């Protein structure tokens, strides 16, 4: 769906402003026709079957047609205007915010003098600008609104859409300590793997440092979470209360560190361990007989018999 701009002086046209792309327009028209036919036939037959148990079959068919055709028309209208509904969804936060501000301004101007009106507006604008926490929150939520449109530009420019030309549905966004977090629902024809190779381009489009993609649901691969990082919070200097505990008069140089070589346990009595004497065992003197002669050496039982080895 496109809207032609007025002609310039001399008969030349200035071009067209595209609201809905031609590919999306044709796809919605085709899907709307199929939705009308299927809904009208299915609902009409079901209504006729139910009505046939109460009235004549011909009357039941007429009743089924009277119910099925309007139902099919409603399905046709819903599918046909879906691209417009999606476009309105993209601008829903800005629309409600603008309507709310305009309504408040009109009510304030109608019920208060001009001086009071200007004073209230100055306070509403000046207080967030002066108080730093309020200002940071306002800027963070403003970036959330901007990021939703920047992602839509990414999807429309260099990400391959499905055959019908429908882009991923951007659901919601909220600020984080490092940037923004956006939830996106992918349409058929696109996966997270297709987006992982384009994270650097998405970061450039969103005016961010880096962009990360994770699955927001374990059961649905189409539900993704974009983490847009703009700043690094881990590089800030963090104050510690331990600094105030240190004595300012303490010497700067520390005492030399003594490395222990053994455990010092004075409260435990260590048992005394006697090690056996090393060397050859003491041998007994051979006993002598009554007449003073040494007894004959008896064969040792430990001596191997040579015959066992032959």
pLDDT one-digit tens code per residue, 137-162: 999 999 999 999 999 888 887 776 66
Residue 2 has pLDDT above 50, yes or no: no
**Measured between alpha carbons, how far is 148 from 97 in angstroms, rounded to an integer?**
15
Q: Judge if 151 and 212 occupy the same domain.
A: yes
Tell me the pLDDT of the chain averaged across its residues: 78
CB 198 within 8 A of CB 238: no
Residue 66 has pLDDT above 60, yes or no: yes
Q: Does residue 49 lie in a domain region?
A: yes
Residue 170 has φ and ψ, to the nearest 5°, of: -85, 115
Between 14 and 257, whose confidence is greater? Answer: 257
**Measured between alpha carbons, how far is 185 from 71 in angstroms, rounded to an integer?**
28
The last residue of one of the domains, among 111, 130, 149, is 130
Between 280 and 272, whose confidence is greater? Answer: 272
DSSP state of 242: G
Q: Does residue 280 lie in a domain region?
A: no
Query: Reduced to 3 DSSP states, what percent helix, strand and coil does the chain have, rounded to the nearest 5?
Result: 50, 10, 40
Residue 236 has pLDDT above 80, yes or no: no
Between 27 and 229, whose confidence is greater? Answer: 229
Total domain count, the chain: 3
Lowest average pLDDT, out of 3-7, 58-62, 260-264, 297-301, goes to 3-7
Q: Does residue 177 lie in a domain region?
A: yes
Q: Does residue 262 lie in a domain region?
A: no
Mean pLDDT of 25-51: 87
- For residue 121, the enclosing domain spans 92-130
**CA 272 and chain centroid, separation:** 66
Q: At what angle do helices 82-90 and 92-111 cross, to 10 degrees?
A: 60
The pLDDT value recorded for residue 21 is 65
């Amino acid at each position: 769906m496109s809207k032609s701009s007025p002609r310039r002086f001399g008969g030349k046209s200035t071009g067209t402003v595209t609201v809905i792309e031609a590919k999306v327009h044709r796809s919605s028209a085709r899907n709307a026709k199929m939705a009308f036919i299927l809904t009208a036939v299915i609902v009409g037959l079901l209504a006729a079957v139910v009505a046939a148990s109460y009235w004549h079959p011909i009357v039941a068919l007429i009743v089924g047609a009277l119910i099925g055709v309007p139902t099919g028309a409603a399905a046709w209208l819903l599918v046909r205007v879906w691209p417009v509904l999606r476009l309105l969804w993209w601008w829903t936060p800005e629309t409600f915010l603008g309507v709310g501000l305009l309504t408040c301004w009109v009510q304030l101007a109608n019920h208060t003098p001009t001086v009071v009106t200007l004073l209230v507006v100055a306070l509403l604008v000046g207080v967030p600008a002066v108080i730093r926490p309020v200002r940071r929150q306002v800027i963070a939520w403003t970036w959330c609104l901007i990021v939703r449109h920047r992602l839509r530009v990414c999807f429309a420019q260099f990400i391959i859409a499905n055959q019908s030309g429908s882009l991923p549905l951007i659901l919601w966004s909220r600020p984080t300590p490092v940037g923004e977090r956006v939830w996106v629902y992918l349409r058929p024809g696109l996966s997270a793997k297709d987006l992982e190779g384009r994270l650097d381009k998405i970061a450039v489009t969103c005016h961010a440092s880096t962009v990360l993609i994770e699955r927001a649901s374990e059961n649905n691969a189409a539900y993704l979470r974009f983490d847009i990082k703009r700043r690094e919070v881990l590089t800030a200097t963090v104050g510690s209360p331990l600094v105030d505990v240190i004595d300012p008069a303490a010497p700067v140089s520390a005492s030399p560190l003594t490395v222990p070589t053994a455990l010092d346990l004075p409260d435990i009595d260590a048992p005394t361990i006697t090690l056996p004497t090393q060397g050859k065992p003491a041998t007994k003197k051979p006993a002598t007989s009554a007449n003073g002669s040494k007894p004959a050496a008896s064969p040792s039982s430990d001596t191997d018999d040579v015959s066992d080895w032959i």
